[in-house]
Amino acid sequence: MNYPLEQRIEWRKLVVPNNSRKQPIHRWYVFPHSFSRELVHSLIDEWKLDTTDRILDPFVGAGTSLLAAKEKGVSATGYDLSPLAVFAAKVKVTNYNIARLERLWLVLQSLLRKTRCTTPRRKFPDLVQKALPGKLLPAFHAIDRMISNLDASGEEQDFFRLALFSLIPEYSHAIPTGGWLSWVQRQQVDVARLFDTYNLQVSAMVNDLRYARRSTESVWSVHKGDARSLPDPNSYYSAAITSPPYPNRHDYSRVFGVELMFGFLDWEQTRELRYQSFHSHPEARPTRPVADNYTHPRKLMLALEQIREKEPKSRIADMLDGYFLDVFHVLHEICRVCKHKAKVAIVVGNVQYGGLPIPVDELTAEIGEMSGLTCEKLLVVRMRGNSAQQMAKYGKRPSRESIVLFTVS
């Protein structure tokens, strides 16, 4: 099937998180593969959404869509399977009493001056111990323990805890590079420097709140949930803005493994998250609802056949097969929980395997129509280069990054 293609290259910076790293509150915690608040603002303006509307993001990530909606006064709800994502997004959209946070910060600073970085009683998984060697793990754990001792609400404690989590990449010896962790050798860190850096981070976050929009007219909420099976009633939302993981083999349970196992999950729980995650990487093996109305798009079938001809037991073919089945479930749920004529924007990226292009945007459009949505057009916003390995073997073959626009039928 052919869908209208519209070039909107002026939006190319809107589908990457570069701006988020500079913007108040957004910069508290940034996921490396995410869109910007400007994309959400642009869609809200284009769709003429207001305080009577409610936006859905079933892959909430670090909460960009929800915080951007809050900045525009539009209610929004987000879901994610990752407890780290739910935690970060929730902290960003909470309304805080700044004066109370400042008082709590003075108390916490006093506690931290007296704390001793002793060996944690809790046994952390090997990954965390290796990533935060020497006195680093005791220091991170000591700060976390002092936050737990604060006479504060859970939301207030989480505010201070997010400041701590934001520092893990700066000190960790396990660094996300693309979709995996790479190990680096850092110089031995004076623990006093970590406490100083934490002091600066909390102070910056408190200062950011002075620019925050406080509103009681609209509601912003974040919950742990699976985009393939949402808890919401039918016809609840008037718009959806989201970006599923791209089918690029990136396993975010590994990318954020240190953070997940430092603060939320043990090793086995992290593995279960890996298995249940969206089928964008080969290790996923999710439990899904039954897909009665799903049929493989012809372009997908041809691509899978070509991949399996080269490699009969290809994990990539199985991943792509599962990926688009998951896309069907997500779009089916979006169709169910959104109102008639609701607007839907799905940010996707095309990929290549073995020199074979996979048109993720076109397949998403076709599967969306299977799910009860009507595809308006594909906005082509960016061209991404292929990997160095692919380029050496197959030459330069850029892939589209697109926003698939639907209307709920």
**pLDDT computed for residue 177 by the predictor:** 86
The pairs formed by 170-177 with CB atoms below 8 angstroms and a separation of 24 or more are 170/197, 171/132, 171/136, 171/140, 172/131, 172/132, 172/258, 173/130, 173/131, 173/132, 173/133, 174/127, 174/130, 174/131, 174/257, 174/258, 176/32, 176/255, 176/256
Same domain, 202 and 222: no
Beta strands per DSSP E along 11-134:
54-57, 75-80
Domain that holds residue 369: 5-95+214-408
Residue with the two structure tokens 């200062």: 207
Same domain, 373 and 305: yes
**β-bridge mates for residue 182, sequence order:** 175
Same domain, 251 and 373: yes
Residue with the two structure tokens 């994990």: 315
Same domain, 334 and 279: yes
Out of 176, 211, 246, pick the residue that ends a domain. 211
137 — pLDDT class (breaks 50, 70, 90): very high
Is the model's pLDDT at 391 over the cut of 70?
no
Out of 211, 236, 271, pick the residue that ends a domain. 211
Same domain, 286 and 306: yes
Out of 211, 231, 257, pick the residue that ends a domain. 211
CATH number at residue 318: 3.40.50.150
79-83, 148-152, 179-183, 258-262: least confident range: 179-183
Cβ pair 342, 407 in contact under 8 A: yes
Is the model's pLDDT at 163 over the cut of 80?
yes
- Average pLDDT rounded to a whole number, residues 380-395: 69
Same domain, 89 and 187: no
Instruction: Compare 179 and 398 and report the one with higher pLDDT.
Output: 398
The C-alpha atoms of residue 39 and residue 30 are separated, in whole angstroms, by 15
Same domain, 382 and 398: yes
Is the model's pLDDT at 34 over the cut of 80?
yes
- Average pLDDT rounded to a whole number, residues 324-345: 99
The C-alpha atoms of residue 14 and residue 217 are separated, in whole angstroms, by 28
